[in-house]
Amino acid sequence: MKKIEGEILNNIDLGEGMFHLIVSAEEIAKRAKPGQFVNIRILDTLCPFIRRPYSIWSAEGDVIEFLIKVSGLGSRLLSERKRGKIDLLGPLGRAYPEPNFGDNETVLIGGGTGIAPLMFYVKYYSLTNFKFIYGAKTCPPDYLISRLGEIIGDFLVSTEDGSLGFKGLVVDYVKELIRDGYIDPQKSIFILCGPLAMLKSFQFLPPENTYVSMEGKMACGFGVCMGCAVKRRDGKGYLRTCTDGTIFRLLDIEL
Amino acid sequence: MNLEVNLAGLRLKNPFMPASGTFAYGVEFLDRKDEIDITEFGAIVTKGISLRERFGNPPERIAEVPCGLLNSIGLENIGLERFLKEKWPLLKEIGVPVIVNIFGEKEEEFEILSEELDRAKVHALEVNLSCPNVDKGGMEFGQDRKVTGRIVEIVKGKFKAGPVFVKLAPNFVNIIEVAKVCEKKGADGLSLINTIMGMAIDVEKREFLISRGVAGLSGPAIHPISLYIVYRVYQEVKIPIIGVGGVYDYRSAIEFLMVGAKAVQIGSMIFVEPGIINKIIRDTKDYMRRHKIDDIKKIIGCMQKVKKGE
Ligand SMILES: Cc1cc2nc3c(=O)[nH]c(=O)nc-3n(C[C@H](O)[C@H](O)[C@H](O)COP(=O)(O)OP(=O)(O)OC[C@H]3O[C@@H](n4cnc5c(N)ncnc54)[C@H](O)[C@@H]3O)c2cc1C
Ligand SMILES: Cc1cc2nc3c(=O)[nH]c(=O)nc-3n(C[C@H](O)[C@H](O)[C@H](O)COP(=O)(O)O)c2cc1C
Ligand code: FES
Set of chain B residues whose Cβ sits within 8 Å of the Cβ of A92 = none
Q: Which residue has the higher pLDDT, A102 or B104?
A: B104
| ipTM here | 0.95
Predicted pLDDT of residue A173: 97
* Ligand 1 pocket residue status of A37, Cβ below 6 Å: yes
B69 touches chain A (CB under 8 A): yes
Does the beta-carbon distance from B64 to A237 stay under 8 Å? no
CA of A13 to the centre of ligand 2 (A): 39
Counting residues of chain B whose pLDDT is more than 90, the rounded percentage is 87
What's the average model confidence in pLDDT over B16-39?
Answer: 91
Map chain A to HEC letters: CEEEEEEEEEEEEEECCEEEEEEECHHHHHHCCCCCEEEEECCCCCCCCCCEEEECCEEECCEEEEEEECCCHHHHHHHCCCCEEEEEEEEECCCCCCCCCCCCEEEEEEEHHHHHHHHHHHHHCCCCCEEEEEEECCCCCHHHHHHHHHHHCCCEEEECCCCCCEECCHHHHHHHHHHCCCCCHHHEEEEEECCHHHHHHCCCCCHHHEEEECCCCCCCCCCCCCCCEEEECCCCCEEEHHHHCCEEEHHHEEC
Q: How many angstroms separate the CA of residue A40 from the nearest CA in chain B?
A: 9
Please give the Cα distance from B82 to B139 (Å, whole number): 25
Distance of CA B204 to the CA centre of its chain: 36
Predicted pLDDT of residue A180: 96
Give the catalytic positions of B in this structure: 131
Predicted pLDDT of residue B137: 60
The pLDDT tens digits for B49-62 are 999 999 999 999 99
pLDDT band for B135, please (50, 70, 90 cuts).
Answer: low
Is the separation of the CB atoms in B41 and B16 below 8 Å? yes
Tell me the average pLDDT of chain B: 94
Interface of B with A in 192-211 (CB under 8 A): none
Predicted pLDDT of residue B297: 97
Please give the Cα distance from B253 to A66 (Å, whole number): 36
Q: Which amino acid is at B215?
A: A
Residue A77 CB neighbour total at 10 angstroms: 16
What is the C-alpha end-to-end distance of chain B, expressed in Å?
Answer: 31
The pLDDT tens digits for B9-22 are 999 999 999 999 99
Q: For ligand 2, atom 23, name the residue with the nearest CA.
A: B245
Each residue's pLDDT expressed in tens, for chain A with a length of 255 residues:
789 999 999 999 999 899 999 999 999 999 999 999 999 999 999 999 999 999 999 999 999 999 999 999 999 999 999 999 999 999 999 999 898 878 899 999 999 999 999 999 999 999 999 999 999 999 999 999 999 999 999 999 999 999 999 999 999 999 999 999 999 999 999 999 999 999 999 999 999 999 999 988 999 999 999 999 999 999 999 999 999 999 999 999 999
Task: Tell me the pTM.
Answer: 0.95
The pLDDT tens digits for B177-212 are 999 999 999 999 999 999 999 999 999 999 999 999
Of B21, B24, B56, the CB nearest to A223: B24
Q: How many angstroms separate the CA of residue A155 from the nearest CA in chain B?
A: 34
**Facing residues of A116 across strands?**
none
State the ligand closest to the CA atom of A243.
3
Predicted pLDDT of residue A102: 83
